[in-house]
Amino acid sequence: MSYRLHLGVFFTGVGPQTIWTDPAFTSHTHIDRFVDTIRTLERGLFDAFFLGEGLRVRENRGRVHELDVAGRPDAITQLAALAAETTHIGLVATQNTTYNFPADLARRLASLDAISGGRAGWNIVTTDNAWTGENFRYGGWLPHERRYERANAFVETAKTLWGGAPVDRHDDLIDVTAGPTVPARPVLFQAGDSAGGRDLAARHADVVFSANTDYDKALAYAADLRERLAAYGRSADSLRILPGAAVVLGDTPADAAEKARYIQREQVTGPRALAFLEQYWGKDLSGYDPEGPLPDIEPAEGELDPSRGTIAIEHRTGKAERIAGWRKLAAERNLSLRDLVIEVTPQHSTFVGTPSQIADEWQRYVENRAVDGFNILPQLLPGTVEDIVDKLVPELQSRGIYRTEYEGTTLREHLDLPA
Amino acid sequence: MSQPQLHLALEIGGATADTEIAAAAEAAGFALVTIADSPLAGDRIEAGVRAAHLARRTRRIGLGPNLHVTTTEPFHLATQLASLDHASLGRGAWVVGAESSPAAFATVGNPPLTGDDLRREIADVIDVTRQLWDSWEDDAIIRDTATGRFLDAGKVHHVNFTGERFSIVGPLITPRPPQGQLVVLGADTLGVTGRLDIALIDAPDPDPLRRRAQQARADGAPLVFADLTGNPAELLGLIDRVGGIVDGVRLRLTDPADFPRLAAALGREPVTGPALRDTLGLPRPANRFAAA
């Protein structure tokens, strides 16, 4: 049997991956642009459209970060509006379990599922970030090591309410007395890659939005996850794996490579390279030339704060060693400040090539069950989305690994999940 | 008729035919629909979700979900409402809810608030919501390719709000709503009339209505609406009696299925909008954080 490929688009709405300097870019906040995007995706028979979440505007050294796109809607509100503009595509809201009330969020997700005719998904994320918590009633209440305990308890609460039963639970993680919601069964997505995240996925998730995109990593990850599923009595086929991926299409391999180079240089502009290093130096570096050498001054005392929202907790310490490593790498390879940042910036795995090349590669992934599909992070708006739908989708269809029409109406049906 | 025409609002919420009724209200010249809700009404579609969906099924009519300050995170509430205004291109409103039964508070694990504590909480949530809506100036997105700056950080503001029970740093994650500030409605009995755009008065008899309307205007409400409930014939009679006392009426039909009869009797043309503030004659407010 040839396994089917499933596709989503992850619309982050913040961060450097969206090339706002591109001449074709108009707006990433206007509702009409969201409607255009999701209708194009529905024409391309996509499984799902995802919205990201970030509950504090990113900052750089205490000041709002100016260089990236920013400004996004409440995900559930936006998806409820987009539900009225579409008929099939799944609508996935990223929502965290730390700074939400369980009964309130469960009710809003159930409402989205009901109003869209069974198309809602919830991308479950956690945070311990007290800086983000400064926008909420109980900022910083949850210790880092307990964030997945809270997430599991939160998801259990939501599932109970969706299933038609009340919840009356009072402990140090959950304090709720609430009645059931409208009947609902949103598809549960999970993105965390830590052991706690994988465990939450194995217990509760229908889909994982993983970071393991490279072929060998994807295979190993799939094996690990299927083992964990078995430990919770779930079948290997009860979970879909959709890693994040960027896609750069060209009419020829050289054309695609050139476009990829353009995207990378636009993503790491000189000012962005300086701002990236300022997070680690903790000092104003605006006087340095991005095309010159790394700053020769020493960084500020103290470890990193998470105020950009982009630095994983394991990277918030040990900056002295990190900076020493960068200096060594820049010296060895004679890299400018900006080239060094391009080299060390975490990149989402990118597929670069002609539609036929990428379709061949994805066929290998899906037939060997390294993945069940991809969740695509668009870099050019509307270019990435239009290119994929108009050029890559037909190649996938001709290989028999992608649908030629929607066979069901719910997100659960699109993903071939157990009923 | 010498008096200006009363603005019409219709209360919906909970019916499976909400979408059809909202579209019919739009065709019948109503300025807005308000969507009743309660944190204890789990068997209904949540009002904010319903309003956002209606935003794309209607074109002219205002949409006012009833969101409760007592059982939500103020930051989420402000974001949800700002997003509704963006999705509806400026037709968003907020009916301030303050469901304060012990059962409502128990849904979020909080002890009940009453009296002055409750009033203070309502006032704090309205205040921080209004500040968050202004936290991005209208021209904060500059897209200056020469300097690589997408935003002007000088135009995206921390609000640094400290209330009695919570504090919020801000800014909102969502740019300023198209209307600047959504239209905020609430009962004159909440004790926050000066913070409202429309005070709702539930007193159908002209004498107490006149007294309370005068008080609401004195307290600073730009518009005053009477809350009226009944069948179409009763509502038409009530509307005649409150003309000249209030600026508008919010109607609740005892049987929503009677709406076509009510609409036919009122005989109004659809409002022209495009924003709810335009329909209501309310100016778009200046941004409190913008340099004068």
Q: Does residue B162 lie in a domain region?
A: no
For residue A94, the SS3 value is: strand
Q: Of A306, A329, A344, which closes a domain?
A: A344
At A3 the pLDDT is: 63
Judged against a pLDDT cut of 90, whether residue B11 lies above it is answered with yes
Judged against a pLDDT cut of 90, whether residue A172 lies above it is answered with yes
Q: Of A319, A344, A369, which closes a domain?
A: A344
Are residue A165 and residue A221 in the same domain, yes or no? yes
Amino acid at site A323: I
Judged against a pLDDT cut of 50, whether residue A419 lies above it is answered with yes
In this complex, the residue of A67, A72, A108 whose CB is nearest that of residue B150 is: A67
At B63 the pLDDT is: 98
Nearest residue of chain A to residue B67 (CA atoms) = A104
Query: Would the CB atoms of B152 and A66 count as touching at under 8 Å?
Result: yes
Number of domains in chain B: 1
- Which of A63-67, A125-129, A352-356, B202-206 is predicted least confidently? A125-129
CA atoms within 13 A on the CB side of A37: 33
**Is A275 part of the contact surface with chain B (CB cutoff 8 Å)?**
no
Q: Quick: pLDDT tens for B48-60.
A: 999 999 999 999 9
> Maximum Cα–Cα distance for chain A, whole Å?
64
Amino acid at site B101: S
Higher pLDDT, A46 or A345: A46
Judged against a pLDDT cut of 80, whether residue A297 lies above it is answered with yes
Nearest residue of chain A to residue B171 (CA atoms) = A57
Give A 122-141 residues with CB within 8 A of chain B. Answer: 134-137
* Mean per-residue pLDDT, B123-138: 98
For residue B182, the SS3 value is: coil
Are residue A283 and residue A198 in the same domain, yes or no? no
For chain A, the first-to-last Cα distance in angstroms comes to 20
* Mean per-residue pLDDT, B129-144: 97
* Mean per-residue pLDDT, B177-204: 97
Interstrand relation of B183-187 and B93-97 (parallel, antiparallel or unpaired): parallel
Chain A CB contacts of B49 under 8 Å are 76-77, 80, 108, 111-112, 115
CA distance B233 to chain A (A): 33
Are residue A242 and residue A277 in the same domain, yes or no? no
Domain that residue B11 falls in:
7-114+175-280
Interstrand relation of A187-190 and A207-208 (parallel, antiparallel or unpaired): parallel
How does the average pLDDT of chain B come out, rounded?
A: 95
Query: Would the CB atoms of A175 and B87 count as touching at under 8 Å?
Result: no
Q: What is the pTM of this model?
A: 0.96
Enter the tokens of residue A187: 């598809």
* Mean per-residue pLDDT, A33-57: 96
> Maximum Cα–Cα distance for chain B, whole Å?
65
At A279 the pLDDT is: 85
DSSP code for A259: H
Distances (CA, A) of B276 to A144, B92, B119, B186, B220: 44, 7, 27, 16, 20
Nearest to B17 by CA among B232, B253, B238, B248: B253
* Mean per-residue pLDDT, A150-172: 97
Domain that residue A274 falls in:
269-344
* Mean per-residue pLDDT, B119-141: 98
Which distant-in-sequence residues (6+ apart) come within 8 Å of A412 by Cβ?
A118, A185, A187, A206, A419
At A247 the pLDDT is: 96
Q: Does residue B146 lie in a domain region?
A: no
Q: Quick: pLDDT tens for A76-92.
A: 999 999 999 999 999 99
**Is A205 part of the contact surface with chain B (CB cutoff 8 Å)?**
no
Judged against a pLDDT cut of 50, whether residue A15 lies above it is answered with yes
Query: Would the CB atoms of A136 and B45 count as touching at under 8 Å?
Result: no
Judged against a pLDDT cut of 50, whether residue B97 lies above it is answered with yes
**Is A20 part of the contact surface with chain B (CB cutoff 8 Å)?**
yes
Enter the tokens of residue A375: 């969740």
Are residue A289 and residue A142 in the same domain, yes or no? no
Q: Quick: pLDDT tens for A24-39.
A: 999 999 999 999 999 9
Q: Does residue A404 lie in a domain region?
A: yes
At A196 the pLDDT is: 83
Which distant-in-sequence residues (6+ apart) come within 8 Å of B164 by Cβ?
B117, B120, B121, B124
Which distant-in-sequence residues (6+ apart) come within 8 Å of B36 by Cβ?
B11, B12, B13, B14, B47, B66
Q: Are B168 and B132 within 8 A, CB to CB?
A: yes
**Is B141 part of the contact surface with chain A (CB cutoff 8 Å)?**
yes
Judged against a pLDDT cut of 90, whether residue A191 lies above it is answered with no
Query: Would the CB atoms of B50 and A111 count as touching at under 8 Å?
Result: yes
Query: Which residues of A line the annotated binding site?
Result: 94, 144, 148, 194
Query: Would the CB atoms of B174 and A170 count as touching at under 8 Å?
Result: no
- Which of A91-100, A203-212, A392-401 is predicted least confidently? A203-212
Amino acid at site A97: T
C-alpha B182/C-alpha B123 separation (Å) is: 16
Chain A CB contacts of B160 under 8 Å are none
Nearest to A90 by CA among A38, A53, A29, A40: A38
Q: Of A328, A344, A360, which closes a domain?
A: A344
Q: Does residue A258 lie in a domain region?
A: no
Chain B CB contacts of A36 under 8 Å are none
Chain B CB contacts of A173 under 8 Å are none
Q: Are A310 and A58 within 8 A, CB to CB?
A: yes
Query: Would the CB atoms of A101 and B53 count as touching at under 8 Å?
Result: no
Chain B CB contacts of A114 under 8 Å are 45
Reported ipTM: the value is 0.97
Are residue A337 and residue A353 in the same domain, yes or no? no
Q: Quick: pLDDT tens for A258-282.
A: 999 999 889 899 999 998 898 889 8
Q: Does residue B206 lie in a domain region?
A: yes
Q: Are A216 and A349 within 8 A, CB to CB?
A: no
Judged against a pLDDT cut of 50, whether residue A2 lies above it is answered with no
At A340 the pLDDT is: 94
* Mean per-residue pLDDT, A358-382: 95
Nearest to B92 by CA among B134, B47, B52, B141: B52
At B3 the pLDDT is: 61
DSSP code for A24: T
- Which of A107-116, A292-301, B242-251 is predicted least confidently? A292-301
C-alpha A179/C-alpha A102 separation (Å) is: 12
CATH number for the domain that contains residue A132? 3.20.20.30
C-alpha A247/C-alpha A358 separation (Å) is: 9
Query: Would the CB atoms of A104 and B103 count as touching at under 8 Å?
Result: no
For chain B, the first-to-last Cα distance in angstroms comes to 42
For residue A167, the SS3 value is: strand
- DSSP letters spanning A33-92: HHHHHHHHHHHTT-SEEEE---SS--EETTEE--SSB-----HHHHHHHHHTT-SSSEEE
At A311 the pLDDT is: 63
Q: Does residue A276 lie in a domain region?
A: yes
Query: Would the CB atoms of B42 and A161 count as touching at under 8 Å?
Result: yes
CATH number for the domain that contains residue B32? 3.20.20.30
Of chain A, the percentage scoring pLDDT greater than 70 comes to 95
Which distant-in-sequence residues (6+ apart) come within 8 Å of B234 by Cβ?
none
Are residue A32 and residue A126 in the same domain, yes or no? yes
Of chain A, the percentage scoring pLDDT greater than 90 comes to 73
> With bands split at pLDDT 50, 70 and 90, how would you rate the model's confidence at A307?
low
Q: From the CA atom positions of chain B, what is the Rg in Å? A: 19
**Is A51 part of the contact surface with chain B (CB cutoff 8 Å)?**
no
Chain A CB contacts of B167 under 8 Å are 134
- Beta bridge mates, B229: B252
Q: From the CA atom positions of chain A, what is the Rg in Å? A: 22
Q: Does residue A243 lie in a domain region?
A: yes
Number of domains in chain A: 2
Query: Which residues of A line the annotated binding site for FMN?
Result: 94, 144, 148, 194
> With bands split at pLDDT 50, 70 and 90, how would you rate the model's confidence at A16?
confident
Judged against a pLDDT cut of 60, whether residue A308 lies above it is answered with no
Q: Does residue A1 lie in a domain region?
A: no
